[in-house]
Copies of this chain bind each other. A is one copy, B any other.
């Protein structure tokens, strides 16, 4: 039975008034956002949502999304905005409890474009079982944004077994990687059609929560550190690990899973796949004794089939990341410097 109070939103484009907080904002929120995002916490539509978190440690994180184009093979900004925040919580050992989403819209944005991204955000939130409990909408003049930007924040309950910090990483520990790298960054690059490359590359955007939970269950307190390899790629994450844990990390270049199309595109563009962004992969450090069991647990989990042992931690020289090639050569893996791939998330 249709709700007689249901507001419909028929405006074809977003205008400045939709961000003014008055009647037009109300129609946008009740006619577009609310039906797509409906959940008991959001439905109160108060200034803040009321949560009843479990007792214990909680993780909190925030991210903004400015990806261009808004839609790309394998995903879109709305989906990314959920998965990015869910994954920051997941690699902190936390189960997502609630998220917020704030939209900055450019006047003139077609309503259908907005509706598609709110729907994508709602679907990703449903998949990750996390309610969107509060939000905000602002509108800026045409030419003062790029379609839309989305900011999300999230809170999660930290698993009591999780004891994740770089200070616990020791020489001998093993470095695991969840799957093939470089797909997200290259999918965005190709979607911009600035290049004459034809390749079927799709973003890997997804929630990592099931994989991080599987790892935590398999390794417990021997799981020491996790980080998702987004901007700056695996290379940047490994350099952060080496510096924060004051260790050296050595990886086997051969072990790094890279899809053929991604490798080919990277070679054409002179990019190192290790420096290309991912939105569905993470790096973890596990003590050697449980590394095999942890890797097996990852591989058993849907989406973790191509997880691998990426490398090992050693005493030093500290802050250094090295990659050993198949033929025996060794190279230094640096953090990303400059920005060959702007606005990939």
Contact = CB atoms under 8 A, between A and B. Distances in A.
A60 B66 CA distance: 23
B48 A92 contact: yes
A231 B25 contact: yes
Contacts of A156: 48
Q: Is the interface of A mostly helix, strand, loop or mixed?
A: mixed
A228 B47 contact: yes
Contacts of A277: 21
Contacts of A24: 337-339
B22 A336 contact: yes
Nearest to A133: B60
Contact-residue size bin, chain A (C-beta under 8 Å from the other chain): 35 or more
Interface string A139-159: 111011110010101111010
Nearest to A228: B47
A51 interface: yes
A316 interface: no
Given A47-B88, A145-B145, A20 B63 contact: no
A193 to B, nearest CB: 17
Given A16-B339, A48-B88, A62-B151, 9 more contacts: A20-B336, A20-B338, A47-B61, A60-B133, A66-B104, A102-B153, A138-B343, A145-B145, A149-B149
29 contacts: A17-B339, A19-B343, A21-B230, A22-B231, A23-B337, A24-B337, A46-B227, A47-B88, A48-B59, A48-B154, A49-B61, A50-B59, A50-B158, A51-B59, A51-B60, A52-B58, A55-B55, A60-B98, A60-B100, A60-B133, A62-B134, A63-B102, A63-B136, A66-B140, A139-B342, A140-B146, A143-B143, A144-B146, A149-B149
